[in-house]
């Protein structure tokens, strides 16, 4: 029978946008999103949604209350549903055995038990959450154990999301592919068709890809691991560039022109973040270890290790450039989200950078156009960071953040940062050397040097540098007032990020 009612367990970055688009494209289907957090559901029902995603508000505000609903009454939504998405958090375990390695599936288990106790009739269960291979088998076992003897039956499908935060709505409206994994039984294939019929309302049929459940689950992990691998490759290249005077931006451009590789995910940065890459690679490492594929596990683990190295290198570059001491110095942090066009801070490199600088007793003024102050405080109050209220301030204006600052640190590639009045920022900063650490390589470094800034990009050769020393050159003609600070020289016979006063 055609699907008439859908329930989604989990009102987060996947469940909310996914169900909003389905409801938009399928006005005859009632879509209900449920979550155990009343505050989150209240925000979904308000004028201020709990997440920022371009295009999401317009869809939600248009159809909410028509065929899109948000509720905390999970049992009722489950009882009425023909199809149920499980879209809950699956972080890396933070407790007990295999802490920091294995995926934590407690939320998936809780969702499965809730479904088993409340579903009625023939119900299709769809894994949306990223899960380890063969998780569907465990879900099916839980459903069977919880199921009542009243003719209730289940079919479990795998339908992983391939969304990129910041472009999630566009990814949903025009996906590269929709992957659906199912059992080989006739009942499994019929359930797959029911789900596929929903997507074909707006997705071309040739983009609907089918597989067995295990292949679908593994595809999601490998997809994210390969994207993270590409980012790590160019970041590792940046370390070579710093030693040789090569320009990582030029290398990335030339390499990306190879059609077999492509330019996406080749922007040198301070490391990847977000809720998926880190935990999914760790899940893959854990899977390989469980299968006694130790060498394969080591391969994937190296991506995580190199990502942490890239973050440490950036932090060390800031401290060393500021004469080995940032204690008491005000630093303006531009960006806290893990990437532009989202308010998500999970695994953000900015958290690592800010914790490092706070532990070095720097005074931070943080500005991000979409991340809430409460979220920033929560992220920095986690273990491994020591600070007091006087050393941290959250600003709502970038110009306020830079007043009296010794440096600007770009942590997120918000396009708005390119269009700021950097002369005004320069004039408001502490006298002496005024630094910009461009962790995303998004700014016009030549223009900033002409303004008087000392620039430290991510492994790009600045105008005026020589390949032999990779030293910062200040363009002739800058006023003496702007060049009164000590010149920073980087000697080729030392670690190239180690500044030497002369």
Q: 3-state SS of 84-152?
A: EEECCCCCECCCCCCCCCCECCHHHHHHHHHHHHHCCCEEEEEECCCCCCCHHHHHHHHHHHHCCCCCC
Reference 132, options 246, 286, 267; nearest CA is 286
Sign, CA torsion 284/287/291/295: positive
Q: Which distant-in-sequence residues (6+ apart) come within 8 Å of 201 by Cβ?
A: 25, 26
DSSP 265-332: T----S---SSSHHHHHHHHHHHHHHTT-HHHHHHHHHHHHHHHHHHHHHHHHHHHHTTT--TT-EEE
Contact yes or no for 99/138 (Cβ under 8 A)? no
Residue 404, Cβ density class (10 Å: 0-12 exposed, 13-18 middle, ≥19 buried): middle
**Residues 288, 213 contacting (CB under 8 angstroms):** no
CA separation for the pair 333, 395 (Å, rounded)? 10
* Residue 276 bears catalytic tag: yes
- 8 Å CB contact between 345 and 274: no
The DSSP call for residue 42 is H
Is 407 within 8 Å of 485 (Cβ atoms)? no
Phi, psi of 216 (to 5 degrees): -65, -45
Measured distance CA(158)–CA(18) in Å, rounded = 15
Per DSSP, 162 falls in state -
Query: What strand order describes the sheet that includes 454-457?
Result: 392-395, 363-367, 330-334, 407-410, 435-438, 454-457
Q: How far apart are CA 66 and CA 461, in angstroms?
A: 55
Q: Which residues is 9 bridged to in the sheet?
A: 34, 86
Alpha carbons 98 and 354: distance in angstroms, whole number = 28
Residues 6+ apart with CB under 8 A from 113: 142, 146
**Which residue is catalytic, options 7, 182, 276, 315?**
276
Strand partners, 454: 435
242 neighbors 310 (Cβ within 8 angstroms): no
Question: What order of strands is seen across the sheet that includes strand 83-86?
Answer: 68-71, 30-34, 5-9, 83-86, 122-127, 153-158, 178-182, 208-212
Token match 């905390």: residue?
A: 72
The residues annotated with a catalytic role in the active site are 276
């Amino acid at each position: 029978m055609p699907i008439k009612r859908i329930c989604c367990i989990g009102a987060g970055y996947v469940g909310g946008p996914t169900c909003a688009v389905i409801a938009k494209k399928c006005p005859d289907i009632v879509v209900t999103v449920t979550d155990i957090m009343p505050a989150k559901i209240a925000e979904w029902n308000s004028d201020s949604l709990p997440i920022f995603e371009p295009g999401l508000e317009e869809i939600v505000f248009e159809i909410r209350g028509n065929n899109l609903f948000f509720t905390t009454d999970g049992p009722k939504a489950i009882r009425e549903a023909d199809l149920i998405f499980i879209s809950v958090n699956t972080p890396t375990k933070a407790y007990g055995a295999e802490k920091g390695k294995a995926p934590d599936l407690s939320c998936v288990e809780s969702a499965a038990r809730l479904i088993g106790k409340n579903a009625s009739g023939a119900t299709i269960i769809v894994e949306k959450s990223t899960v380890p291979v063969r998780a569907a088998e465990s879900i099916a076992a839980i459903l069977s154990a919880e199921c009542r003897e009243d003719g209730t039956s289940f079919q479990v499908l795998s339908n992983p999301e391939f969304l990129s935060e910041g472009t999630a709505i566009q990814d949903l409206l025009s996906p590269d592919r929709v992957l659906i994994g199912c059992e080989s039984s006739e009942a499994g294939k019929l359930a797959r068709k029911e789900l596929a019929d929903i997507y074909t309302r707006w997705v071309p049929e040739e983009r609907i890809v089918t597989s067995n459940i295990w292949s679908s689950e593994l595809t999601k992990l490998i997809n994210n691991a390969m994207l993270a691998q590409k980012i790590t490759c160019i970041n590792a290249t940046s370390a070579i560039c710093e030693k040789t005077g090569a320009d990582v931006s030029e290398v990335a451009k030339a390499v990306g022109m190879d059609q077999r590789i492509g330019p996406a995910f080749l922007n040198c940065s301070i490391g990847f973040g977000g809720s998926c890459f880190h935990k999914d690679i760790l899940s893959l490492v854990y899977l390989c270890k469980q299968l006694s594929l130790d060498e394969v596990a080591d391969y994937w683990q190296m991506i995580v290790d190199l990502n942490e190295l890239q973050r440490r290198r950036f932090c060390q570059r800031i401290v060393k450039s500021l004469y080995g001491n940032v204690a008491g110095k005000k630093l303006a942090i531009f960006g806290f989200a893990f990437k532009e066009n989202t308010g998500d801070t999970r695994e953000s490199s900015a958290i690592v950078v800010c914790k490092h600088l706070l532990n070095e007793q720097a005074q931070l003024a943080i500005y991000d156009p979409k991340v809430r102050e409460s979220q920033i405080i929560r992220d920095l109050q986690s273990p491994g960071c020591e600070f007091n209220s006087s050393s941290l301030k959250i600003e709502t204006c970038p110009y306020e953040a830079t007043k009296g600052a010794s440096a600007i640190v770009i942590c997120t590639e918000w396009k708005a940062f390119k269009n700021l009045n950097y002369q005004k920022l320069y004039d408001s900063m502490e006298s002496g050397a005024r630094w910009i650490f461009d962790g995303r390589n998004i700014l016009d470094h030549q223009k900033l040097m002409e303004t008087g800034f000392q620039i430290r990009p991510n492994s790009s050769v600045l105008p005026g540098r020589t390949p032999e020393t990779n030293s910062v050159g200040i363009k002739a003609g800058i006023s003496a007032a702007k060049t009164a600070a000590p010149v920073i020289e980087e000697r080729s016979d030392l670690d190239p990020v180690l500044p030497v006063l002369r």
